[in-house]
Amino acid sequence: MTQLALVIDLNVCVGCHACVTSCKQWNTSGWAGPLVDENPYDADPTGTFFNRVQTFEVGTFPDTETVHFPKSCLHCEEPPCVQVCPTGASYKRADNGVVLVDYDKCIGCKYCSWACPYGAREVDEQQRVMKKCTLCIDRITDLTLPERERRPACVLACPASARLFGDVHDPDSEVSIAIRERGGYQLLPECGTHPANHYLPRRKTRIYIDPEELLRADNPLHKEDLTTYQGEETLDDVTW
For residue 142, the domain's CATH number is: 3.30.70.20
User: What's the number of domains the chain is made of?
Assistant: 1
Distance in angstroms (rounded) separating the CA atoms of residues 162 and 201: 12
Distance in angstroms (rounded) separating the CA atoms of residues 194 and 100: 16
Q: pLDDT digit string (tens) for 186-203?
A: 999 999 999 999 999 988
Residue 215, domain member (yes or no): no
Over residues 11-18, the mean pLDDT reads 93
Q: pLDDT digit string (tens) for 193-240?
A: 999 999 999 887 777 777 777 666 666 665 566 667 677 776 666 665
Query: Which residues, in sequence order, are bridge partners of residue 37?
Result: 47
Residue 142, domain member (yes or no): yes
Phi-psi region of 200 (alpha: psi -120 to 50; beta: other; left: phi over 0): beta
Q: Checking DSSP bridges between strand 37-39 and strand 46-47, what pairing results, if any?
A: antiparallel
Residue 169, domain member (yes or no): yes
Contact present, 98 and 31 (Cβ < 8 Å)? no
Distance in angstroms (rounded) separating the CA atoms of residues 162 and 157: 10
Residue 83, domain member (yes or no): no
Query: Which residues, in sequence order, are bridge partners of residue 5?
Result: 166
Contact present, 100 and 93 (Cβ < 8 Å)? yes
pLDDT band at 46 (very low <50, low <70, confident <90, very high): confident
Distance in angstroms (rounded) separating the CA atoms of residues 103 and 209: 54
Residue ranges making up the domain that contains 62: 4-74+135-200
- Return the percentage of the chain with pLDDT > 70, whole number: 88
Distance in angstroms (rounded) separating the CA atoms of residues 231 and 76: 81
